[in-house]
Amino acid sequence: MRDLLQSRRISLIVLLVAAALFVVAAWLRGRAVPSAGKRAADPHPELFVEEMACPRRGGILEDGRRSEELALLRSDRYAYDPRDGVRAVQRYQEAEACYRAAGATNDVVRVRLSLAALTARVNTDYAAARLNLVNALEQDRWSDALREIHRLLLLTEHLRRHEYVEWLKKIIGRVAARASTAV
């Protein structure tokens, strides 16, 4: 008798836990699907897919040094303008191509290290801005969403037509309107 009572309690507990899990799963499924106007286009474009060639303006080493210097200047400005981070990566790529063409191995290694560090930083900031945008849209934080859209548009300005960039351009007006009326 005691075993039967114990067995029924366990069955009841398992049934209650299963029902609770079902309710929680249904609730999470409903929350996880943002409205169509808030859903980000997927997938996002990669920022650095094209390799840059050495710009032929003079001597190859001179062109490499000029591109590297421009990369350093742009990377210093990246904190103020996201486009400068993207431009700095492109100039580092140019410098690497020039140094490689000139056979300047030490310069190639030095530039590759700077290029890898800056590329990782820009890509990390890009990923963070995308995540911040999704969170802001899901939580109706319109001013935050607008700030992230602007940042993402600056980071992707160099890209040709892409679904994600078009989606950002499409929603910016609605988000700006909601940000202006939000308290």
Task: Locate 164 and state its tokens.
Answer: 């994600």
Task: Locate 54 and state its tokens.
Answer: 């050495």
Q: Give CA–CA dist 103/67, Å, rounded.
A: 16
Does residue 155 sit in helix, strand or coil? helix
Question: With 60 as the cut, is the pLDDT of residue 28 above it?
Answer: no
Residue 182 zone, left/alpha/beta (φ > 0; ψ -120 to 50; rest): beta
Length of the chain: 183
Q: What is the pLDDT of residue 167?
A: 94
Q: What is the pLDDT of residue 27?
A: 40
pLDDT digits (tens, 9 = 90+) for 38-80: 556 568 999 998 889 999 888 999 999 999 999 999 999 999 9
How far, in Å, are 33, 85, 121, 132 from residue 163 at the CA level? Answer: 20, 22, 24, 19
CB-based contact 82:155 (threshold 8 Å): yes
Q: What is the pLDDT of residue 41?
A: 55
Q: What is the pLDDT of residue 147?
A: 96
State how far Cα 94 lies from the chain centre: 23
Q: Give CA–CA dist 43/163, Å, rounded.
A: 8
Q: What is the pLDDT of residue 108?
A: 96
pLDDT digits (tens, 9 = 90+) for 85-99: 999 999 999 999 999
Helices (H) and strands (E) in the chain, counts: 6, 0
Residue 181's pLDDT band (cuts 50, 70, 90):
confident
pTM: 0.75
pLDDT digits (tens, 9 = 90+) for 120-168: 999 999 999 999 999 999 999 999 999 999 999 999 999 878 899 999 9
Question: With 80 as the cut, is the pLDDT of residue 100 above it?
Answer: yes
Q: Give CA–CA dist 91/158, Å, rounded.
A: 13
Q: What is the dihedral of CA 143, 146, 151, 157, to 10 degrees?
A: -170
